[in-house]
Amino acid sequence: MATTSDQQLVAAAIAASQQAYIPYSRYAVGAALLASDGTVYTGCNVESASYSPTICAERTALVKAISEGKREFTAVAVATRDAGSPCGVCRQLLYEFSPPMRVIMADMAGNIRVTTTLKALLPHGFGPANLQVE
């Protein structure tokens, strides 16, 4: 199985950002989520005039992957104009599946500015292990 490089994930995230529906914020976000089997799921942000139903690119990619039966992930690339970080809601939902996941933040030119882990972005995160009954 061929491995997907960080630059390939960033390129996929940038391509996904081109589909963003952002009439209010004008802040396009693309995400590319790497499943443990090498499959890449992309997503973009989709805004709504009533704001609360807006969904981020990272969650779009995750929901696509989950709906196709994937549950294990190794990395996510996020591309924005300024290499923005995943929001708190995205961090929490991604943490559900893979606290050690690598998080790659890049700008729209493809420059990787930050590579870290989800666990570092959400220290002391709350996940499935917290709900285990002894």
Residue 11, SS3 per DSSP: helix
Give the integer Cα–Cα distance in Å for 87 and 89. 6
Tokens of 1: 């199985």
CA atoms within 13 A of residue 15's CA, in its CB half-sphere? 11
Give the integer Cα–Cα distance in Å for 18 and 45. 10
User: Which amino acid, one-letter code, is at 78?
Assistant: V
- Residue 47 annotated among the catalytic residues of the structure: no
21 DSSP 8-state letter? B
List the catalytic residue out of 58, 72, 96, 134: 58
What is the set of active-site residues? 58
